[in-house]
Amino acid sequence: MIEANNPSLKSWIEIEENSDFPIQNLPFGIYSTKKKSKRVGIAIGSKIIDLHELANAGMLESTEVFPAVFRQESLNPFMELGKDATRKVRNKVSQLLRASNTDIKGQAGLKKKILDKQSDAIMHLPVKIGDYTDFYSSKEHATNVGTMFRDPANALLPNWLYIPVGYHGRASSIITTEQDIVRPKGQQKPKDDEPPTFGACKLLDFELEMAFITYEGKPLGDSIDVNEAEDYMFGMCLFNDWSARDIQKWEYVPLGPFLAKNFASSMSPWIVTMDALEPFRCETPAQSPKPFEYLQFSGKKSFDIKLEMYIQPENGKENCVTKSNFKYMYWNQSQQLAHHSVNGCNIKCGDLMGSGTISGPTPDSYGSMLELSWKGTKPITLSDGSERKFILDGDTVIERGYCENESVRVGFGEVRTKILPTK
Ligand code: MN
């Protein structure tokens, strides 16, 4: 067991019950405050540990990571040091924060310097994302979409059970929490027998996803083996991959999604390390037919992560509209990375790999409004009595996720995005 994951550990920092950020988590992010420029922090309870100040005080010397690595606008310079270095830093911070350790807790001045309140912090996009790839790895989601738009008898396309299907998205429009987005405009074709129209998207949707962030991969021409794939994963975050369904339907033939997807995707600001997720490993669904050899893995490659999506109307209350789980994914992340690089494609430090919409087996666990409202035929009623088939102007969509067992809860926090009217 990784010592930093020990469920019996307690911190000298007071942590609220049900916090997503106990001492067993220690996720990394980029934050600033009124007095501090952007830097690397670790979330614990409702506080943030300032890693730049911690390193400046000599507290991270044993990790051999220089303080300058933490005074950056992204986690990339830190991730470029590789898994050994990022793991050492998490383990060292875990030691420093334990109830029995007096290195920080005994020094009032230092304590003040390195502790910030999350409520005083602005969270920034944690990673300078080079390339963004989105997969399509939930069988339930692919089946639902195929049933709605093609043929219920042949809902999955013939390649789906052989290939972890994916496409290259756009990195520039990935945002983090508390950043509003503007309803996109574009071409649509609402009626089959009439010409296309142009205007604001009417079928704006979320996609309940997660994503993983990569370390530097292998050079162009080399492939990452499915059983070594996790060595190249830094950590995971929540991911809401916004989609304009009406624009998507008209534009996607023959080359796939374009403007229906690239106007925004929202990622949560704290990256939970693969180490912290270790206690929550679980089996993936059985795969039949047997995948090609390069996709055959051993061990448990998925994680039990509870996922929720909420809609909050302007000045209204939050409504949970779906509860799903990362473990429903048919193709796991190791298979995704092995597939992505099997042709020799090079993976770079700071790439983001989206899971694809994660739908569960029951209608209350579907990962998009498209499925929840079944193409708009079954509106959802919110607590204020209003109905939603898709997302309206003024709505805030909030994604949350956490792992939980008998002894510990390791969470991702949230990512929250408000929709502004079209320009
Ligand atoms: Mn997606």
Q: What is the CATH number of the domain that holds 357?
A: 3.90.850.10
Q: Range of 378's domain? A: 132-420
Helix or strand (DSSP H, E) at 218: none
pLDDT single digits (tens) 354-369:
999 999 999 999 999 9
How sure is the predictor about 417, in pLDDT bands with cuts at 50, 70 and 90?
very high
**Structural domain count of the chain:** 2
Cβ burial 95-131 (10 Å sphere, 16+ → b, else e): ebbbeeeeebbeeeebeebbbbebeebebbbbbbbeb
Residues 118 and 223 in one domain: no
pLDDT in tens, 32-62: 999 999 999 999 999 999 999 999 999 999 9
Q: Share the mean pLDDT of the chain.
A: 97
Please name which of 227, 213, 273, 219 lies closest in space to residue 42, comparing C-alpha atoms: 273
Amino acid letter for position 34: K
| CATH code of 112's domain | 2.30.30.230
Residue 164 Cα, ligand 1 centroid: separation in angstroms? 13
The answer to whether residues 287 and 141 belong to one domain is: yes
**Which 3 state secondary structure label does DSSP give 83?**
helix
Q: Which two tokens mark 247? A: 């624009």
Shared domain for 338 and 398, answered yes or no, is yes
Q: Is 167:178 a contact under the CB 8 Å cutoff?
A: no
Q: What is the pLDDT of residue 77?
A: 98
Residue range 15-19: average pLDDT? 95
Same domain, 356 and 387: yes
Domain termination residue (choose one: 91, 124, 157): 124
> Is the model's pLDDT at 416 over the cut of 90?
yes
Give the pairing type, strands 166-168 and 204-205: unpaired
pTM of the model: 0.98
Active-site positions? 141
Tell whether 136 and 120 lie within a shared domain. Answer: no
Q: How far is the CA of 69 from the centre of ligand 1 (A)?
A: 32
What's the pLDDT tens digit per position in 316-334?
999 999 999 999 999 999 9
pLDDT surpasses 90 at 377: yes
pLDDT of residue 253: 92
- The alpha carbon of 358 and the centre of ligand 1 are apart by a number of angstroms equal to 9
Among residues of the chain, what percentage have pLDDT more than 70? 100
Q: How far is the CA of 8 from the centre of ligand 1 (A)?
A: 38
Nearest-5° angle of CA 216, CA 268, CA 131?
35
Average pLDDT over residues 109-131: 98
Task: Say how many Å lie between the CA of residue 356 and the centre of ligand 1.
Answer: 4
Last residue of a domain, one of 101, 124, 147: 124
Q: What is the pLDDT of residue 121?
A: 98
Looking at per-residue pLDDT, the higher value among 393 and 150 belongs to 393
Would the pLDDT of 138 be above 90? Answer: yes
State the pLDDT at residue 106. Answer: 87
Cα 399 to ligand 1 centroid, rounded to whole Å: 14
Ligand 1 geometric centre to CA of 110 (Å): 44
